[in-house]
Amino acid sequence: MLSGKTVMVTGASQGVGRGLALAAASAGASVVITARNIDAAEGVAAEIRALGAHAIALRCDVTERAEVEAAVAVTLDRFGQLDALVHNATSRFSGRGAQLQNVTDEDWNDQVAVGLRAAFHCAQAAFPALSRVAGSFIILVSNAGIEGSLPLPVYSAIKGAQRGLVKSLAREWGPAGIRVNAIAPVAMTPAMGKFFDAQPEMRDYIKSGAALRRVGEPQADVGPVLNFLIGPNSAFITGQTILVNGGATMV
């Protein structure tokens, strides 16, 4: 499905990002793995190369504009094009439950920086390359940004704002042929594992809330949706949030 395409995934050293990168590679794409932890990113790139696909790992702090621009430049130099940029990176505070009165400025600022400022950096840096190939810009959002989350008010606010950005960019970039969409997954990640360890009751709550009675897998469940949104079969889809949650939230 993605043969000949180049896909960059931010925050792809583990969890959902890793699964998305592996899924895109399995569909034939060359993949650029970006993360702050270059050793972990290189590990994912090595997994992809072991599959016979092309991948490089780049250290990139998405809160720093210069590093995002540099990552795009290296991608173009190495592969000649950028067909999709997937902004998946999340703040280190994202999975920490806290009522609003207990949220610190550090927590708020970090989540805004990674969720919103970084999305802004990624969008501006990728636009020229995406416009040349009528590419895709995809942001990983959350059910929390649709219906809210009792233990995660800041995360919910950021994810809701990302959905607003997706809709606005879809309208702005549509004439250039660029499609902009969001994916809202529920999938097992190291961060979710820590969340379940801290609040064990949430594991059964999340599973029982899903119509399919399970938590998704990043590569097997979310990856095919990413590939669909990048590939030609979704050519008339833009400005949408695709819920990949086993029926936990229905809209």
Given its phi and psi angles, is residue 99 left (phi above 0), alpha (psi -120 to 50 degrees) or beta?
A: beta
Contact of 100 with 21, CB cutoff 8 Å:
no
Contact of 22 with 49, CB cutoff 8 Å:
no
Q: Is 205 a catalytic residue?
A: no
Among 96, 93, 31, 87, which Cα is nearest to 57's? 31
H helix or E strand, kind and range, residue 109: helix 105-112
Q: Of 79, 127, 155, 173, which one is the catalytic site residue?
A: 155
What is the torsional sign of CA 26, 28, 32, 38?
Answer: positive
Among 96, 95, 151, 140, which Cα is nearest to 115's? 140
Cβ neighbors of 243 (< 8 A, separation 6 or more) are 143, 146, 184, 249, 250, 251
Positions marked catalytic: 155
